[in-house]
Amino acid sequence: FPLTNAMTARSRESLSDLQFTGAYRVPFQYAPYLRQHLSVGAFLRFHRIEPRQMLVVHDELDLPPGTVKLKFGGGTGGHNGLRDIDEVLGSRDFWRLRIGIGHPGNKDIVHSYVLSDFAKAEHTGWVETLIDASADNAELLARGEDASFQNKIHLALAAKGFVDPNAPNETP
């Protein structure tokens, strides 16, 4: 929740009011322990929002820690939260902001790894920087300026030494 809370709180405009290519991106907070995926469908129906207008922010094992990638549609990649949302919506056609957390290296500990909190050093390091940069630039994302949004995150992480500033737009 820290990322979506910060993005919503710092936005100078309502993220759901910003149009891009004829649609809207609506942040929806997902907490697996609350099984909120069940309320995704109700939320979208109540507000008359199509799944393609929604942005789901989620962790991604297949990306290095701190890497930020935006994509539309696609599979679940084994992510239980995305699988649950797909089932409730009956569609995979929604926006995903994938936040890399890296893989623990052993498939037997993946479940406990994804449900655990970040180490204190990570949280006060790249995680905090990523949250701040994402929140400060949320309007770019809402307007569909995806490359600019991802570049701002990369530059913020590079400025604090978490990534080589001359490296491709791959964060730590």
pLDDT digits (tens, 9 = 90+) for 60-102: 898 888 888 888 999 988 888 888 888 888 889 988 888 888 8
- 133 closest CA partner among 112, 111, 150, 108: 150
Q: Give the start-end residues of each E strand in the chain.
A: 19-20, 23-24, 26-28, 54-60, 68-72, 95-100
User: Max CA-CA distance within the chain?
Assistant: 45
Side-chain-side CA neighbours of residue 60 (13 Å): 21
Distance of CA 121 to the CA centre of its chain: 21
How confident is the model over 21-70, as pLDDT tens digits?
Answer: 334 445 444 444 334 555 777 777 877 878 888 888 888 898 888 888 88
Separation CA 101–CA 155 (nearest Å): 18
